[in-house]
Amino acid sequence: MGNVNMCKAIQEMIQDGRDEGRVQLLVTLIQSGDISLQRAAALMNMTPEEFQEKSKMIS
């Protein structure tokens, strides 16, 4: 039973890392003017406010 929980925890950590990488990439694209905040948020299935908050947590 403990192994299942550990596997899930590891999978969540991997996914969090992927999400952080995507957010960092999207922030770079926003800063360069290639995409809008709204589009970046939509790509992450977030509101623009959620995306801004997430990007602050990462940097």
d(CA 20, CA 54): 8
- pLDDT given at position 4: 66
> What are the CA-CA distances from residue 9 to residues 3, 28, 56 (Å)?
10, 29, 24
Whether residue 8 is contained in a domain is answered as no
The 3-state DSSP class for residue 34 equals coil
d(CA 26, CA 31): 9
- pLDDT given at position 3: 63
- pLDDT given at position 6: 87
Whether residue 26 is contained in a domain is answered as yes
Low-confidence ranges of the chain (pLDDT < 50): none
Name the residue range of residue 37's domain: 19-59
Domain count of the fold of the chain: 1
Beta-strand runs (E) in 1-59: none
- pLDDT given at position 2: 56
Whether residue 12 is contained in a domain is answered as no
- pLDDT given at position 45: 95
Whether residue 2 is contained in a domain is answered as no
Whether residue 52 is contained in a domain is answered as yes
Burial (Cβ within 10 Å: 0-12, 13-18, ≥19) of residue 40: buried
